[in-house]
Amino acid sequence: MSDRRRRKSIFDIFEDFMKGFEDMLRSKEFEKEIEDMLRSFSADEGGIERFYRPYVYGFRITVGPDGKPKVEEFGNVKRIGSRPKIVEEIEPLVDIIEEEDIVKVIAEMPGVEKEKVKVIATEDTLKIQSSNASRKYYKEVELPVKVKPETAKAVYRNGVLEVVLEKSEKKGKSGIEVKIE
């Protein structure tokens, strides 16, 4: 057998992640965290308080250009200090697609009307927010390259927001609100 190291495949990375996840689930610290979280939600009589807004939590694992796995979380369950906390605003799942001359940002934001979505673009960030009676979304996205915020075009259809921005080499500082079609 050769001494050369075998390059890891995506399946090896996923297997390593799942092993770590299983180890975490079996740990006493995890059990204590869950007990503490449930205790913090308890009502006067020791029962669990009922919340009427949805809990949204998810993650996805991708492999970056450097070959290292990257875990991205989304939803309204945030870790503040050592405890999880339910926040009012849901962080949408966002994809950033860099093409030759443009950058596309795609965000999943179901359950809101187009008129309630607000997008503010700067040369290196995109702020997405929305609010209606049942759902609030908020995400500030760091763009991979400098863009021209004045060229931004946004479309919101079927709960999916797509923003297209032209790449830029020059610098600008002020944000521009993007009209949604």
Instruction: Please write the tens of the pLDDT for every residue from 85-117.
Output: 777 888 999 999 999 899 999 999 998 999 999
Highest averaged pLDDT of the listed ranges 29-33, 45-49, 152-156: 152-156
pLDDT of residue 140: 93
Helix axes 10-26, 28-40, angle to 10 degrees: 70
Please name the amino acid found at residue 88.
E
Averaged confidence pLDDT in the chain: 80
Topology of domain 92-181 in CATH is Immunoglobulin-like (2.60.40)
pLDDT of 173 strictly over 60: no
At 50-61, the pLDDT tens digits run 544 567 788 888
User: Given pLDDT bands bounded at 50, 70 and 90, which one contains residue 74?
Assistant: confident
Domain extent listing, the chain: 8-87, 92-181
pLDDT of residue 78: 77
Residue with tokens 């009922």: 50
| C-alpha of 73 from chain center | 5
